[in-house]
Amino acid sequence: MSIWFTEELHPYYRKGIRIKKILADEQTQFQHLQIVETEFFGKAMILDGIIQLTERDNIGYHEMIVHVPMLAVGKPKRVLIVGGGDGGSLQQVLRYPSVEEAVVCELDQRVVDLSREHFASFGDPWADPRARLLVRDAFGFLEENPAQFEVIISDTTDPIGMAERLFSDEFYKLMVRALTPNGAAATQCEQPFFDTELIKQIYQSAQEKVKHPAYYYANIPTYPGGGIGFMYISDTPWENGLKTPYPSGKNNYLNPEIHKAAFALPEFFRKELYG
């Protein structure tokens, strides 16, 4: 018999999906990790009671967080993914033939292990010789590697518990320091309706560090409010990516119209963010 999983991120809002089967359920060293089979969205990963991805709608998240900075840079050679142990962002990064090394700095090995077992649609990007997994905290790695990466993807959980530091001014400073000149980063940056003040703080922090920060957005039904935002961080305008050909392989979410429209913000939020 199927059951309902209900997620309550805010005291005034909750959402639920129907689950057919629990495939994995364990307390790792860092978090409560579950893999479930849902009735509509396919397999889903849940961390500490919060949906991280599903087979059906992860395309909006992974394609947008990866390709916007990658296309803006053009032909990146070294890429760092902070978090991203599920392999979805790595799969998209490795579509670029220019990439010589893609480093994934993931804190929890079990996220990698269970994702390789249950999310076959990601094609096991870990087997690619260009992929390099580091099971460690990203702060120390960023401190040790200034000016090393053309692109950095901060593919993190929500700012709860240990992940709060990944939304701090200190983290953004280290991330920009780890970029090569004219490199670009994209970070998971929450939802305009629920997290306006946090996004404003992050944007102001980015403004102090790069010439062309910008917030953009994707539709993902299983995330709170039906979508998620990203912060683009670079001295290179994001618009450069509109002129760059897509890498080989199939896009399931991103196209030129979506790419451009993602930066068009609702008026209430545009005023809050940009004044």
Please give the Cα distance from 266 to 275 (Å, whole number): 13
DSSP-based three-state secondary structure for 9: strand
155, 169, 195, 235: the active-site residue: 155
Contact 185, 164 (CB under 8 A): no
CA 103 centroid distance within chain: 14
Is the four-CA dihedral 90, 94, 99, 100 of positive or negative sign?
Answer: positive
Six-digit token string for 131: 């992929």
Token pair, residue 105, equals 């700095």
Six-digit token pair at 28?
């790792």
- Backbone φ/ψ region at 242: left (φ over 0), alpha (ψ -120 to 50), beta: alpha
Specify the DSSP class assigned to residue 120: G
Q: How far apart are CA 131 and CA 138, in angstroms?
A: 16
Q: What is the dihedral of CA 91, 97, 101, 104, to 10 degrees?
A: -20
User: What is the rounded (10 degree) CA torsion for 52, 58, 60, 64?
Assistant: 70
Tokens of 119: 């999310």
Secondary structure of residue 261 in the 3-state scheme: helix
Active site residue 155: yes
Active site residues: 155
